[in-house]
């Protein structure tokens, strides 16, 4: 081995010793999970402005140095929390695309939409999602573009998936829809609009039973308007 090669190998060994742990290191994963959980808890309870990095470190059970090794500042943490909800919505939307491609008969349509509506409403009404939406509204001035990004990548993606699915159901004769995006927006509000508005404005999260009832009644109304046969039957 030449001198240059030996020096290069030595530098690589030294760099490996001084470099921090990899992002997939179990210790890093545990630390980041603890930090995000603590930040979420404090942001929801005290607001973004009312929370400090020192408090986040304390609740997470970590040193401030470990905290800053994982997240540069509160902005990065806040965006991480929002991105997790957006990722969940993206996964849900991809699932919708697959659901609508499954062969379905007229007799199965009501059951399929009923199941979809309940799952969608319960996902939207998760306490952490409601709390995050309220927090985004409260911090709109500090994060003027984050609300729009959240809408595009969370509710917006789900609406796009619904619109695409309703277009497919229209092509095979199960729905009568001329404006699929409008129909998707109406479907979403019919199944969860009232519970969501109450949670956002009053802070009261409806019971699971009430959310399911609203979702099922919303499907009935939706099919009365858009079903290929009157009343969706």
Over residues 139-156, the pLDDT tens digits come to 888 888 998 999 999 999
23 pLDDT more than 90: no
User: To the nearest whole number, what is the mean pLDDT of the chain?
Assistant: 87
The predicted model gives 88-98 an average pLDDT of 89
Domain count along the chain: 2
pLDDT at position 24 is: 64
Q: What is the CATH number of the domain that holds 29?
A: 1.10.10.60
pLDDT at position 27 is: 78
Q: Which residue in 132, 130, 129, 120 sits closest to 191, CA to CA? A: 120
Domain shared by 199 and 94, yes or no: yes
State the Cα–Cα distance between residues 96 and 89, nearest whole angstrom: 10
Domain shared by 18 and 65, yes or no: yes
The predicted model gives 162-190 an average pLDDT of 96
pTM of the entire predicted model = 0.79
67 pLDDT more than 50: yes
Residues facing 175 on adjacent strands: 227
pLDDT at position 198 is: 94
User: 121: phi > 0 → left, psi -120 to 50 → alpha, else beta; which?
Assistant: alpha
pLDDT at position 113 is: 97
Give yes or no for a contact between 132 and 151, defined as CB atoms under 8 angstroms apart. Answer: no
Domain shared by 56 and 103, yes or no: no
Would you place residue 22 in the very low, low, confident or very high pLDDT band (cuts 50, 70, 90)? low
Q: What is the CATH number of the domain that holds 127?
A: 1.10.357.10
Q: Render pLDDT for 102-138 as a digit per residue (tens, 0 to 9).
A: 888 888 999 999 999 999 999 999 988 898 898 898 8
Domain stops at, among 50, 71, 92: 71
The predicted model gives 158-168 an average pLDDT of 96
**Percent of the chain surpassing pLDDT 90:** 57
pLDDT at position 16 is: 42
Q: Which residues contact 91 (CB under 8 A, 6 or more apart)?
A: none
Domain shared by 158 and 226, yes or no: yes
pLDDT at position 3 is: 46
Domain shared by 93 and 38, yes or no: no
Domain shared by 128 and 217, yes or no: yes
Domain shared by 183 and 217, yes or no: yes
Domain that includes residue 28, residue range? 1-71
At residue 194's C-alpha, the angle toward residues 192 and 195, to 5°, is 70
Domain shared by 96 and 190, yes or no: yes
């Amino acid at each position: 081995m030449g001198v240059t090669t030996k020096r290069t190998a030595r530098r690589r060994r030294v760099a490996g010793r001084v470099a921090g742990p990899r992002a997939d290191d179990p210790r890093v994963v545990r630390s980041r999970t603890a930090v995000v959980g603590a930040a979420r808890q404090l942001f929801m309870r005290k607001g973004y402005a009312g929370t400090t990095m020192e408090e986040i470190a304390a609740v997470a059970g970590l040193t401030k140095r470990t905290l800053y090794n994982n997240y540069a500042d509160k902005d990065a943490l806040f965006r991480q929390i929002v991105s997790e909800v957006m990722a969940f919505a993206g996964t849900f939307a991809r699932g919708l695309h697959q659901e609508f491609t499954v062969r379905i008969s007229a007799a199965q349509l009501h059951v399929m939409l009923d199941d979809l509506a309940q799952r969608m409403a319960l996902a939207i009404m998760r306490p952490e999602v409601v709390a995050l939406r309220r927090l985004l509204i409260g911090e709109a001035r500090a994060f003027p573009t984050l609300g729009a990004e959240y809408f595009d990548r969370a509710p917006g993606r789900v609406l796009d998936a619904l619109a695409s699915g309703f277009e497919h159901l229209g092509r095979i004769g199960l729905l009568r829809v001329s404006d699929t995006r409008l129909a998707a927006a109406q479907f979403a509000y019919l199944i969860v609009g009232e519970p969501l508005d109450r949670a956002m404005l009053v802070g009261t999260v409806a019971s699971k039973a009430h959310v399911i009832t609203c979702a099922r009644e919303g499907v009935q109304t939706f099919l009365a308007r858009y079903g290929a046969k009157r009343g969706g039957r």
